[in-house]
Amino acid sequence: MPEEEFSSLFDLASKKKKKEEQISAPAVPQEIKSDEDVKNVFTRYKKIHDEIKETLESAFEKAHVSPKQVEEFFSEPQRFETIEWRAINATKNEVKKKLENLLPKKEEKTAEQEEKVKKTKGGFISKKRWLSMH
């Protein structure tokens, strides 16, 4: 089998819908002028999200499997040929990178900030520095 046939996991595992049946992601307006524009954009994206969710749920129901079972199946390389396994890993990595780009990145703490945290976690002050209550 030529490697081009297995360019992605989705090409391997599913039939492609006709282009007119697919919902494309709506373009975000260049200038969002009002709250109404924001609501419209969120409404469109929610519609796409809901359709994807329903499609996945119905596919799992028809196949009588759970998402966990699918994840376990695709994590075992002995179930696939080498070409197929490469396509699966390539798709997993691609999706992972896209998801990482969507999430806000955590700020890395500088050495000074970490040192400051260590000092404040010290607990109680020493007895020598207590104030006399007499």
> CA separation (Å) from 120 to 82, 106, 112, 123?
54, 22, 12, 7
Compute the distance between CA of residue 61 and CA of residue 3 in angstroms, rounded to an integer. Answer: 31
Task: Report the pLDDT value the prediction gives residue 93, as an integer from 0 to 100.
Answer: 92
Residue 61 in tokens = 């129901």
Query: Quick one: pLDDT at residue 23?
Result: 57
- How many CB atoms are closer than 10 A to CB 7? 12
pLDDT in tens, 1-23: 444 444 554 555 555 454 445 55
Residue 20: its pLDDT value, please? Answer: 44
**DSSP at 66:** -
Can you give the residue ranges of every domain in the chain? 35-64, 76-101
CA end-to-end distance (rounded Å), the chain? 90
pLDDT digits (tens, 9 = 90+) for 79-127: 899 999 999 899 989 989 988 887 777 666 667 777 766 665 556 666 7
- pLDDT tens-digit profile of 13-69? 555 454 445 556 555 556 767 888 888 888 998 999 999 999 999 988 998 999 899
Contact between 87 and 9 under an 8 Å Cβ cutoff? The reply is yes
**Host H or E run for residue 130:** none
pLDDT the model gives residue 3: 44
pTM equals: 0.43
Q: What distance in Å separates the CA atoms of residue 86 and residue 8, rounded to the nearest whole number? A: 9
